[in-house]
Structure 1
């Protein structure tokens, strides 16, 4: 079965403590990312952790260093609405439902970018402590407008139509800032990408045969 089919509402006292700790880690991860506490953020990940987002894929150290650069150019704020956790033994899947909010200069104006997504985490309990093993986004939709009522920002529709619908505006801004966004991330515009991620996570969690 898929991890999201695991029964809910049957937590043991140990499960409750574990899920509380996992939720704290996930929420603190985003807090540290937003407010430049990079050493603290790094401590939440295992040394062999991997992170995939629209702007990079690789090891945790690469992600931390890239986050420093990105936050200096266009600070992002992650607003978390819910954290859902599925636990099996010393492994867990957590999904954080969130919005990424960025205000930044673009094309002679100042814009507000809002990207709605789920952050998909795998965590493992090692030597009594939960650590993040991997983290990936599942993009849903995004919008970008001038921050001002009399703003002049108007993106090129033809350029936007070449990009993935679930995070086209995020990619558009990245390109305009000289970046090369990854267009292979999981997203609701390509359900097969979510199916693949969920199947791999279910096998990793140990609730589905490989």
Structure 2
């Protein structure tokens, strides 16, 4: 298996393992010191797995529909971008709703001791939508939460915030293009730096 295929399979297996609750397999994909920064979580790989287990136990498990990944490899470093539609069914103020959040997942991976592992995950949130799972059912959204929420992940903020998840307001999103441009620059600077050692 060549490196591009190996890294593509790595990120696909990590997302599948999270969706299916295969925690041991997920652990094998993530470096213990991996930096993970999502709407509801910031921390390292091992803590992310534990938090994902807790989230699933609460009935808040998500499903990721993924596009084909784009992989760039330089030496023992790889950068991956993969489009994702994140689906979550949940309860919002007593109404069952379906959330779809569209994002680009940006990964860094490194070959350590001959094995590829994910060392960073940063999503770029694009937009999201929320609908009742039974069409026509009224859904109540809190005006103050809507007013404070970022456009790129507004409905995610409403749903997860109502479930007592702390949602960051400084994440990467298409509503703030300059930090996203800098993120891509940092990612590819890091990738090329491995070739300059």
* Fold shared by both chains (TM-score > 0.5): yes
Match of 1:145 in 2: 131
The residue number in structure 2 matching 1:129 is: 115
Task: Let me know the Cα RMSD of the aligned residues.
Answer: 1.6
Moved more, 71-80 or 135-144: 71-80
User: Does residue 69 of structure 2 align to residue 95 of structure 1?
Assistant: no
Residue of structure 2 in register with 1:176 after alignment? 162
Q: Is the 8 Å Cα contact of residues 86 and 93 (structure 1) preserved in structure 2?
A: yes
Tell me, yes or no, if the aligned pair for 1:115 and 1:170 is still in contact at 8 Å.
yes
Deviations 1:76-132 (A, max 9, x none): 000102211111111110011011000111111100000000110001112221111
5+ residue gaps in structure 2? none
Match of 2:4 among 19, 33, 37: 19
3-state SS in 2 of match to 1:75: coil
CA distance in structure 2 between the aligned counterparts of 1:43 and 1:115, rounded to whole angstroms:
26
Question: Of the candidates 67, 70, 80, which is equivalent to residue 84 of structure 1?
Answer: 70
Task: Please show how residues 21-170 of structure 1 align to structure 2 within 5 Å.
Answer: 21-73=6-58, 74-170=60-156
Partners of 1:121 and 1:132 lie apart in 2 by 7
1:43 match: secondary structure: helix
Query: Match of 1:206, SS?
Result: helix
Displaced runs of 4+ in structure 1, greater than 6 A? none
Output the CA distance in 1 between the equivalents of 2:56 and 2:99. Answer: 14
Counterpart-to-counterpart distance in 2, 1:124 and 1:179: 30
Whole-Å separation in 1 of the counterparts to 2:33 and 2:52: 18
Distance, in Å, in 1 between the alignment partners of 2:135 and 2:30 is 42
Q: Structure 1 length as normaliser, TM-score?
A: 0.87
The alignment covers a number of residue pairs equal to 194
Alpha-carbon offset, residue 34 of structure 1: 0.5
Instruction: Give the gaps of 5 or more residues in structure 1.
Output: 1-15
Give how far 1:21 is off: 0.7
